[in-house]
Every structure is written in structure tokens, then in C-alpha cells.
């Protein structure tokens, strides 16, 4: 086929996008809408084989009935002028997962969890519709460029076995054809069992996760038969031995997908999707906030020992003591001196307490201030106490606190 050829009277091919398996893919433009699509046509050498044509149409039917953001859209099916069947799909820009791994490298655990979680969700839709892919591989996962610049996975080739070109690294049979991609085959597929169900896609999902994180598939073999034997009987190397930074929960999920006995394997794609989404959520939270979140008060420096209770500075009472002693030296002025002292004591303690309350927020925060602010005596009289205290008790307590003879309290 040459560029600018018209297919079915309405699609003009623009440029080739690739060739592999049983088909070739071209970028094309709809002559009526000017919208661009990808057109997939059966290779001319295979167009005369009824089994190939039927498999091609089966892919079109299977993909066309599935609607999910992670499954490539099929918009039209028809036959070209030369009789070859074709399907019209959305035109994707990006690369396949295996191309990304070869050119860029492995994925980090968060990216792998997010991408494979979306693939698992697409498999849930397919399985509920009664469609089993049976050929999941990194070559069938297309990483499409999205509007935000982040890759979005698209599952390709539902229900279609691929013919690999000689330079492809995957194992081929002697005839050059394989049923599916051997590296991703489940043990039941390797045995040729007829009981192949949705759990074979769960196995392939585990292989995809393994390859995304390590850059290799879990089973290898010198030829097709050796690979099939390894898949059925040989234990694989755990991901944690190849990538110690992969979280344990993600490693456990991969192990549960790669259990050889289907009855003991992870039961469904839904279980895989739910687990991958939970792992991605935890990893994303850890990336956004490397350390534990703390309140502002928690970040304040803590004192080495408990802050002392607020105390009234001694200098507040020095003028009061001197005044009391001057009055006491005068004959007959004891009662007057004690009364004056009581008033000054009340004013001084009230003012000092008021000053101490100004630092209470600091004390409540657990920080001991270096020194309390100076407090000046107020000229305003102290407010009366809520309850009356006997004058003799107050005088006796004041005299004892100043180290004076308690008998002064009884002088008239």
C-alpha cells in the first residue's frame, strides 16, 4: 500500500505506523470529517486465509464492544478495495511499554502501580463482558501521551495471537508463529489446557508488573519448549531480590498473580486493581509528604525540664517592707503600719499576678521564659476580694511572712 491511497472511499492513508503479526497499521484521514485515525489491515499475504480473517474480525468485535479509557477504541470495520478486512481505531501517540523499558528503563513502583492499576480496571470491564484477552504483553500495552503529559495505558489486540518478527526478543516456534506471547503465557496456557479463563489475564498482569519493575520477564528458556517448561515447573526469582526498593505490598501482589495453580492464584482483576490503587495511594502520599505531618505546636522546641510556676518577683515587695519598717519605728503606729502594709500587699500581689498572666500563653506552650517582665505597682486601689477575710488573720499572716513578731498583731 502506498500513501494517499483511499480505502473504502472515505479513508485516505497518510503514513505507515508499523507492521507486525498479521496486520499493518497506517495513519489515515477521514475525507468527510478530516479527523485522523489509525487503520489496521490484514497483510496481503494472509488475507486469503479464512482463519486469519476470522481472528481479525473477532478482534474487531471484541474490542468494539468494550468501552474503557484504557482500551483502544474501534470506530469502524470494513473491507478495502482489494478485499482485505480493516478496522478503524483511535490514533495514539506515544510508545508501547516494551519500547519504553528498552529505551528509557524500568518504572518506579508508583508509576507501575498507577499504570497497571488502570490496565487491571480495563480487564475488569473485559471480563465482565465475557472477553479474555489471552495475549497481554508489554508490546500490547501502549503508553499514550495524555493532555497533562503523563502516559495513559491502552490495551491493544484483544483476542489476537501475534506473529513476531525475527528481531523481536520473544521466543518463536519453528514455523515462525506463536499463539500469544510465550513469555506472558500462564501455566494452563503452556499446558495447552482448554480451561483458560480470566485468571490467565491475572497471571499476565503479574508478568507485566514484574517486567515493568525489573526490566525482564520472570521466566526464560533457551527455546520455546524450555520456556514452557520453566513457566509450568520452575520457581521465579522474587522481585525483591532484583529491586529491594519495591514495597513489600507490591511484591506480595506480584507473587499472588504468579501462582502456578489457577485455583490458588489471585482470584480476579478486580482484586488486583483494588490492591494496586491502594498501593499507589500510599506511595503518592509518601512522595508528597516524606515525613510525618506535625502541628505547628509540635515543631516548637521543647524545654529540657518542666517550666517553673509563675512567681511574683521579690523586688515587688521591697518598697512595702521599707515603708512598714519606717512606720513601725514610730511609737504607737504599729496598727497603722500593719493596715498600710495590708493595703500595699494586696495592691502588689494583684499587680504582680496581672503581670505574670501576660506570659501565660508561653507557659502553656511549654516554653519557660528567661525572665518575667518587670511589674510596677499601680496607684489605683486593689479591687475588694470576693470574700471577706478577718483583719487579724491577714495581719498575722503578713507579719509572719515578713519575719516580724506575731505579737504585733495584738497591739492596740
What's the rounded Cα separation, in Å, for the pair 314 and 224?
95
Q: What is the pLDDT of residues 4-20, one digit of tens each?
A: 889 988 999 999 988 76
Please state whether the predicted TM-score (pTM) of the whole model is above 0.85: no
Residue with cell 505506523: 17
Q: Is 388 a residue whose pLDDT tops 90?
A: no
| Cell numbers standing for residue 396 | 498575722
Q: Which residue has the higher pLDDT, 18 or 325?
A: 18
Percent of the residues in the chain that have a pLDDT greater than 90, as a whole number? 44
User: How far, in Å, CA of 175 to CA of 395, rounded?
Assistant: 117
Does 330 have pLDDT greater than 70? no
Torsion sign over Cα 88, 89, 93, 96: negative
- Give CA–CA dist 243/236, Å, rounded: 14
pLDDT at 269 over 90: yes
Residues with a known catalytic role: 135
Q: State whether residue 7 is helix, strand or coil.
A: strand
Tally Cβ neighbours within 10 Å of residue 390: 8
pLDDT digits (tens, 9 = 90+) for 172-228: 333 334 456 899 999 999 988 877 889 999 999 999 999 999 999 999 999 999 999
| Sequence-ordered strand ranges (E) for 340-401 | none
Residue 270 has pLDDT above 70, yes or no: yes
C-alpha grid cell, residue 85: 478486512
pLDDT tens, position by position, 356-376: 444 333 333 333 333 333 333
Q: Count of CB atoms within 10 A of residue 301's CB?
A: 7
What's the pLDDT band for 149 if we cut at 50, 70, 90?
confident
In residues, how long is the chain? 412
Task: Report the alpha-carbon distance of residue 93 to residue 108 in Å, rounded.
Answer: 22
Q: Which residue bears the cell 497591739?
A: 411
**pLDDT at position 397, please?**
58
Give me the residue label for grid cell 491511497.
5
How many other CB atoms are found less than 10 A from the CB of residue 15? 9
Amino acid at each position: 500500500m502506498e500513501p494517499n491511497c483511499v480505502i473504502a472511499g472515505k479513508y485516505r492513508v497518510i503514513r505507515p505506523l508499523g507492521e507486525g503479526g498479521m496486520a499493518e497499521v497506517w495513519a489515515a484521514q477521514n475525507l468527510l470529517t478530516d479527523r485522523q485515525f489509525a487503520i489496521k489491515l490484514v497483510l496481503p499475504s494472509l488475507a486469503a486465509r479464512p482463519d486469519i480473517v476470522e481472528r481479525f474480525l473477532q478482534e474487531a468485535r471484541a474490542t468494539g464492544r468494550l468501552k474503557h479509557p484504557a482500551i483502544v477504541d474501534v470506530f469502524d470495520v470494513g473491507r478495502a478495495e482489494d478485499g482485505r478486512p480493516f478496522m478503524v481505531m483511535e490514533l495514539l501517540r506515544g510508545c508501547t511499554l516494551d519500547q519504553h523499558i528498552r529505551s528509557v528503563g524500568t518504572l518506579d513502583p508508583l508509576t507501575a502501580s498507577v499504570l497497571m492499576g488502570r490496565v487491571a480496571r480495563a480487564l475488569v470491564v473485559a471480563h465482565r463482558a465475557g472477553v479474555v484477552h489471552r495475549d497481554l504483553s508489554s508490546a500490547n500495552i501502549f503508553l499514550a501521551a495524555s493532555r497533562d503529559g503523563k502516559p495513559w495505558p491502552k490495551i491493544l489486540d484483544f483476542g489476537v495471537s501475534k506473529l513476531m518478527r525475527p528481531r523481536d526478543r520473544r521466543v518463536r516456534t519453528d514455523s515462525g508463529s506463536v499463539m500469544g506471547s510465550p513469555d506472558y503465557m500462564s501455566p494452563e496456557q503452556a499446558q495447552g489446557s482448554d480451561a483458560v479463563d480470566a485468571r490467565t489475564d491475572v497471571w499476565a498482569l503479574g508478568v507485566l508488573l514484574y517486567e515493568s519493575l525489573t526490566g525482564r520477564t520472570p521466566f526464560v528458556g533457551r527455546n520455546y519448549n524450555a520456556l514452557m517448561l520453566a513457566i509450568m515447573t520452575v520457581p521465579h526469582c522474587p522481585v525483591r531480590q532484583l529491586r529491594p526498593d519495591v514495597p513489600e505490598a507490591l511484591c506480595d501482589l506480584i507473587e499472588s498473580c504468579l501462582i502456578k495453580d489457577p485455583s490458588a492464584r489471585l482470584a480476579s482483576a478486580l482484586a488486583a486493581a483494588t490492591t494496586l490503587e491502594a498501593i499507589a495511594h500510599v506511595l503518592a502520599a509518601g512522595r508528597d509528604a516524606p515525613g510525618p505531618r506535625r502541628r505547628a505546636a509540635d515543631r516548637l522546641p521543647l524545654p529540657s525540664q518542666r517550666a517553673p510556676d509563675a512567681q511574683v518577683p521579690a523586688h515587688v515587695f521591697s518598697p512595702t517592707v521599707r515603708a512598714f519598717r519606717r512606720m513601725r519605728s514610730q511609737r504607737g503606729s504599729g496598727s497603722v503600719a500593719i493596715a498600710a502594709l495590708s493595703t500595699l500587699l494586696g495592691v502588689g500581689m494583684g499587680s504582680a499576678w496581672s503581670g505574670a498572666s501576660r506570659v501565660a500563653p508561653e507557659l502553656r506552650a511549654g516554653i519557660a521564659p528567661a525572665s518575667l517582665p518587670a511589674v510596677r505597682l499601680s496607684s489605683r486601689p486593689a479591687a475588694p476580694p470576693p470574700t471577706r477575710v478577718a483583719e487579724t488573720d491577714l495581719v498575722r499572716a503578713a507579719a509572719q511572712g515578713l519575719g516580724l513578731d506575731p505579737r504585733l498583731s495584738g497591739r492596740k
